Structure 1
Amino acid sequence: MRSPIPATLISTTLAIILGAAPLAAQNGVTITTRGGQTCISSNGLPDHATGKFPNRGNPHAIRQQNTRVCVPSNPKKGSSPQPVQTPGIATNGVIIRPDTADYYDAASPRRHSRDPASGWLLEAMGARDALGLDNQNAHVDERGLYHYHGMPPALTGVSDTSLIGYAADGFPIHYIGSKARPAWMLKQGSRRTAPGGRHDGTYVEDYEHIRGAGNLDECNGATVNGHYLYFATDGFPFFPRCLYGTQITRIR
């Protein structure tokens, strides 16, 4: 039986959301609520130190961006989740993108490429050295966009709210540490095709959703005090990789 999400940990944030109050801007970020939309405009640069880029696993340099993401201020939950690659944006204006575009590829010198033929998609947090993630669980894409693959430590404990971002469907994303437990688990045994080896979290397909194994649903969400919310977690999937909202903003 699932343990409920502790409502007291997010009551302050719910008051902010329900009051539709603008959030404080930081590091080139503005967050406004108007006309039924919450809009986050940003230069894409984080408000914390990053690792060195380029690095051995990531050949790209961080570049300033012109990012603007608008999501519904009053999101509605549908009945079926939709898979997404870029599920949201953090309150500091950095894009949240847990998935990668690289698959196991025995023919590549790096052992991974954009060729999906193997069916084994690299999990960034399980292959962090190969993809050059820094200590904020982030790296840089070919455009120079710095983005998060896992929960950045710099966003924890910086305020009295658990809100750390907004999903592309408008529902807020919270971080409450180990109190939120995902229902995704490593599969038992070994991979039946190349690259072989045990299911250790290097690839997305190493995991399976087991209903009721945690207190979150398959999209890392839960209903608290009658309001649906997503959670960033310390374990896979780290951020929601599917969304339940009826209106989903495409975030590039």
Structure 2
Amino acid sequence: MASPATAVSKEGAACKVAGQVVTVAGKNLVCKKVGKKLKWVASTATTTTTVAATTTTTTVAATTTITTRTAAGCAPTYKFVDLSLAPGAGSGYAKPKVAASCSDGTLTVSSNGMIGYTFVATTPNALKEQAYTWKVTTSPKVAASATSIKTQMGTVAFTVTGIPIFGPMEGPVPAQEAYGDPVYNNLLDTCKGHTGYSGDYHYHAILVMNSCYFDETIIGYANDGFPIYSNPGYTYVSGYKMTGNPKSNSWNAYTYQTGGATTLDECNGRTDENGDYRYYITKTFPYIIGCYKGTPATQVGTAEAPMAMRSSTYICEI
């Protein structure tokens, strides 16, 4: 899949996300409404470029895209969305903030965990501002063996909008839905997220649409540093087949089966034509990642965002 920059052929071409900024042949283009259509036009925003010994940071003011990379090429392309112009979760909520930097082989992402679109409660938990800082390698490598996420009750990845991504299961309560598939059990909002006990909004699946502030490119990074890509037309499919009832114990309800060329591996990813590994979102289980293909970094503090365990009944208001 092409990067945001290489996907743009020229000024005047159609685009999808208003406010998105890319650089083509040294020229900044911004996605703007021209008449009734979105098109790439030359950016008139002030651009400041600072080159340090090992880091180049390019910031385009008043846009919805921030790109930060090292001079060596902090691969792959990092695209983090500046949500300062987004409407936010609604009246009374903090505005969303996300910042990314890349230095000494580490990508650092900070976020307040707030969404850019209207919050719709699907759990009894109120949405609350968080303080996340994630750190992952910029040079991920495929490990000798995959690392399971079947028992990881918390953040396995994060989005370019600064929101945690959890695995494809819920907590232990209520008992009849213990560790069940939150998509199957209809516990998520339109963008496939909801709030946890700590008021932390997180995703269990990803729906790529403009209203959710995701474009058809990189939508996040796993804790092992490998990128998570969107999947236009869902060309690539999950190899997991439902063989049980995912209402509870979701991992026991699906079995991985090797398929054809478009079937992803057990971690829900594949190696591209350049030899680079990437995860893909899918319509079906495990939705985002099924295991870590690389070596996951240990996150600390709120960035780990463990799923709270309580004995009280978890009531979902759908």
How would you bin the TM-score normalised by the shorter chain?
Answer: 0.7 to 0.9
Q: Report the residue type matching 1:243 in the other structure.
A: Y
Shift, 1:30, TM fit: 0.7
Matched, 1:146 2:201: yes
Partner of 2:51: none
> Using the alignment, how far apart are the partners of 2:222 and 2:236 within structure 1?
17
1:12 touches 1:161 (CA, 8 Å); kept in 2?
no
Q: Report the residue type matching 2:190 in the other structure.
A: N
Partner of 2:295: 246
Secondary structure of 2:113's counterpart equals: coil
Shift, 1:156, TM fit: 8.2
Structure 1 residues 145 and 154: CA distance shift in structure 2, 3 A: farther
1:138 touches 1:150 (CA, 8 Å); kept in 2?
yes
1:76 touches 1:247 (CA, 8 Å); kept in 2?
no
TM-score, normalising length from structure 2?
0.61
Q: Report the residue type matching 1:124 in the other structure.
A: P
Shift, 1:157, TM fit: 9.4
Secondary structure of 1:164's counterpart equals: strand
Matched, 1:206 2:253: yes
1:185 touches 1:208 (CA, 8 Å); kept in 2?
yes
Structure 1 residues 160 and 202: CA distance shift in structure 2, 3 A: closer
Query: Which consecutive unaligned segments of at least 5 residues does structure 2 have?
Result: 7-66, 84-96, 306-318
> Identity over the aligned pairs, expressed in percent?
27
> Using the alignment, how far apart are the partners of 1:157 and 1:176 within structure 2?
15
> Using the alignment, how far apart are the partners of 1:220 and 1:157 within structure 2?
22
Please provide the CA RMSD for this pair. 2.6
Partner of 2:73: 19
Partner of 1:221: 269
Match of 1:41 among 74, 93, 110: 110
> Using the alignment, how far apart are the partners of 2:254 and 2:221 within structure 1?
25
Match of 2:172 among 85, 88, 102: 102
1:89 touches 1:95 (CA, 8 Å); kept in 2?
yes
Partner of 2:282: 233
Structure 1 residues 227 and 141: CA distance shift in structure 2, 3 A: same
Q: Report the residue type matching 1:202 in the other structure.
A: K
Query: Which consecutive unaligned segments of at least 5 residues does structure 1 have?
Result: 1-9, 106-110, 114-120, 188-198
Shift, 1:184, TM fit: 0.3
Shift, 1:91, TM fit: 0.3
Matches within 5 A, 1:4-15: 10-12=1-3
Partner of 2:225: 170
